[in-house]
Amino acid sequence: MILLELRGITKKYNGTIALNGVNLKVEEGDFLAIVGPNGAGKTTLLKIMAGIEEPTSGKILYRSKRIGRRDLEFLRKRCTMVFQKTTLFNTTVYNNIAYGLKIRGLLKSEIQERVQEVLKLIRLEGFEKTHAKKLSGGQQQLVSLARALVLKPELLLLDEPASNLDPQTTLIIEHVMNHINREEETTVVMATHNIFQAQKIPKRAALMLNGKIVEIGLVEEIFLKPSVNLASFARSENIFVGTARTINNGTSLIEVSDKVQIRVAFKKTGKTAIFIRPEDIIVSKNPLESSARNAFRGRIIEVSDQGSIVRLKVDVGEIFTAQITKFSFEKMDLNIGSEVFIYFKASSVRLI
């Protein structure tokens, strides 16, 4: 059954088009990832789905009911949005999570039961009396998620739910998303610019560019088939074009330049575009004994500190972007100009 449908949704801000004729159907029990670069219109789309903003034109239907201006409150009670930027009340964790339930007039005993249930799910049991603003950034994001989950929405809308979070918090959020969708059958729509996170849990994906949904389908259809749209979005980092020739055992060698030839775990000949995730590249200060078929030596030319992670640009004859933890970065005492070795498996190379 179609839970929510958008027909020809357009949204303008002072003459600037944020959404341009978006059509979208979300079925009950679905987990849809809306993937696109910053500025593609993802957040605006979620706000309209949540009833937070009205479209300039187009139709919204919820369980086949036309949603007009007077029905936005109806929509808000069924759809809850978790924003990328966490804003918590200046009180305890318990009061933050319980707030929406108190507004809805639930009994104290039911509120306590629901809050404890969701605290267990997000692994913050024992933090009830802790002041929410004294928590780490990752823990605050978990509390923000818990405030939505405790309301038991029919449709949960997540805006970049794991952006710039530490790996441990990201794993908890991914576990929670999987649980509520698979076990509790909550319908979930997640907006993200991370195409790799979009492949982990969601069932379907929609690729969004310049305010339009340009592709939609099963996750494996969207991300594993060659696509001009996907190639234009995939951050331009670690996208290489070269001439491929098959070697043996189902592998190929792609000659990107005189200095860089990349082994891949698929058969291909001729001009080929490939992509390697920054997360799949191992960085070392010294040579390693590794099963990785691709190994290069180069120098760090750029460092981007993103909190718990650090992104490095390494010049090996071509520029590769690698992502490592801040702990590893500091332990290896790396900086711009440091000589490093990078490694990645042939199976980590993706065809575009």
Q: Give per-residue pLDDT as tens, 239-287.
A: 888 999 999 888 999 999 999 999 999 999 998 888 898 889 999 999 9
pLDDT at site 273: 83
CA distances from 293 to 36, 266, 278, 344 (A): 31, 13, 16, 7
How large is the average pLDDT for residues 204-222?
Answer: 92
- Residue 226: pLDDT above 70? no
Spatial strand order in the sheet of 282-284: 282-284, 339-344, 294-306, 309-315, 319-325
In the block, tokens 């291909």 appear at: 268
pLDDT at site 352: 74
Helix axes 108-121, 137-149, angle to 10 degrees: 130
In the chain, the amino acid numbered 86 is T
Helix (H) or strand (E) holding 228: helix 228-233
Q: Which residues pair with 244 in a beta bridge?
A: 254, 270
How large is the average pLDDT for residues 120-126?
Answer: 95
CB 24 within 8 A of CB 214: no
pLDDT level of residue 231 (50, 70, 90 thresholds): low
Question: What superfamily in CATH does domain 2-232 come from?
Answer: P-loop containing nucleotide triphosphate hydrolases (3.40.50.300)
For the CA atoms of 45, 51, 55, 58, the dihedral, rounded to the nearest 10 degrees, stands at 90
* Segment 150-176, tens digit of pLDDT: 999 999 999 999 876 777 888 899 999
CB 169 within 8 A of CB 142: yes
pLDDT at site 168: 85
Q: Give the span between the Cα atoms of 59 and 154, in whole angstroms.
A: 20
In the chain, what is the straight-line distance between the N-terminal and C-terminal CA atoms, in Å?
Answer: 33
What is the domain partition of the chain in residue ranges?
A: 2-232, 239-351
pLDDT level of residue 311 (50, 70, 90 thresholds): confident
Burial of 169 (0-12, 13-18, 19+ CB in 10 A): buried
Pick the CATH number of 239-351 from 3.40.50.1820, 2.40.50.100, 3.30.70.3280, 3.40.800.20: 2.40.50.100
pLDDT at site 234: 59
Q: Give the span between the Cα atoms of 128 and 194, in whole angstroms.
A: 32
Q: Give the span between the Cα atoms of 62 and 169, in whole angstroms.
A: 33
pLDDT at site 350: 86
pLDDT at site 139: 93
- Residue 199: pLDDT above 90? no
In the chain, the amino acid numbered 221 is E
Find, among 295, 230, 227, the residue nearest to 262 by Cα: 295
What is the distance, to the nearest Å, from the Cα of residue 226 to the centroid of all Cα atoms in its chain?
Answer: 21
Q: Give the span between the Cα atoms of 149 and 118, in whole angstroms.
A: 7
| DSSP-derived secondary structure letter, 280 | G
Q: Give the span between the Cα atoms of 112 and 68, in whole angstroms.
A: 35
pLDDT at site 195: 74
| DSSP-derived secondary structure letter, 331 | H
Q: What are phi and psi of 121, to 5 degrees?
A: -65, -40
Q: Give the span between the Cα atoms of 89 and 303, in whole angstroms.
A: 35
